[in-house]
Structure 1
């Protein structure tokens, strides 16, 4: 016996590999040129691709879809992930600094997810926050081109900080795959 559900059917825009988000020849994350030279350039390329992946997972969705929660009791949503990563970028700058931590963007713990409501103004602000915080963290890290340099109160290595950023985006891109598939059936890649 089959039960009717409101779950969307799986789909993709890819034509070559139907289990992928996009065909390899049209995927903006694939470059036709040589791979980056050196460790720092490779790390930046990887981070850029994960940032792009997150944006791709959110493309074409309205405020309600972006704010749609996963499964109870989780408060996770695509909009919440955007807000969380903006908050996290700000936190990473605190690791570089010897000064006092910056104020939280969204307030108390988990406010990044709790405040991810289906309003276009909240969506627009979240994207603006993410772009601003990414640029500020990128600029702060650019002042430390030596990956072995230790910075901040805890003496964290720049390499560790960049790898941690990649790890955070990669983990949340996995969440975004599942969230997007639940919203409209679009498969991840």
Structure 2
């Protein structure tokens, strides 16, 4: 008997998908017009993908470090991306915000199998995303340079998309190791 979970998907149309196209909340009727709307749409879809990869798991599964020796877990990714959202606001304003979880790697190290930790992680991520979105809404000009490094809003948004995309790739592998569920 293997400790490896059997691979599975809920999709019946395309077996490599997370969900059937008609059931996937990321499927929009049409692509948005304009660069800003396109960047916002990609960021929103990657944020949603991360949450989808965590759906249906209990605290132990979310906190499981399923790819040793890495300390990464799905719960750790939720916490890490809450910190990342907070960091982006620091880059925009130039005013450092305190860390949510403490010293380096505390976002992953503190991701323990406790429902209160899970609930807090989801709440922290939602709050940090909303605060980042509210701040970005003040800068509709993507070429506007902000913060002490004078980084453009465009660069910050593309970096945000890249950060979520990379971690959604991690989430794919972590989820498959936890319960075998596969899909884009």
Give the shorter-chain TM-score range.
over 0.9
The TM-score normalised by the length of structure 2 is 0.98
The TM-score normalised by the length of structure 1 is 0.95
> Which residue is equivalent to 1:6?
3
> Which residue is equivalent to 2:124?
129
Which aligned runs of 4 or more in structure 1 are off by greater than 3 angstroms? none
Counterpart-to-counterpart distance in 2, 1:98 and 1:81: 25
Is 2:171 the counterpart of 1:176?
A: yes
Counterpart-to-counterpart distance in 2, 1:47 and 1:77: 21
Counterpart-to-counterpart distance in 1, 2:145 and 2:84: 20
> Which residue is equivalent to 1:79?
75
CA contact (8 A) 2:67 2:177 kept: no
Could you tell me how far 1:119 is from its partner in structure 2?
Answer: 0.1
Aligned-CA RMSD value: 0.8
CA contact (8 A) 1:178 1:188 kept: no
**1:29-81, CA deviations, whole angstroms, 9 ceiling, x for partnerless residues?**
1022x210100000000011101100110000000000000222210000000
Counterpart-to-counterpart distance in 1, 2:107 and 2:183: 24
Counterpart-to-counterpart distance in 2, 1:134 and 1:122: 18
> Which residue is equivalent to 1:63?
59
Which of 87, 97, 103 aligns to 1:91? It is 87
Question: How many residue pairs get matched?
Answer: 184
**CA radius of gyration, larger in:** 1
Which of 15, 26, 30 aligns to 1:29? It is 26
> Which residue is equivalent to 1:48?
44
- Unmatched tracts of structure 2, length 5 or more: none
CA contact (8 A) 1:68 1:78 kept: yes
Counterpart-to-counterpart distance in 2, 1:133 and 1:115: 18
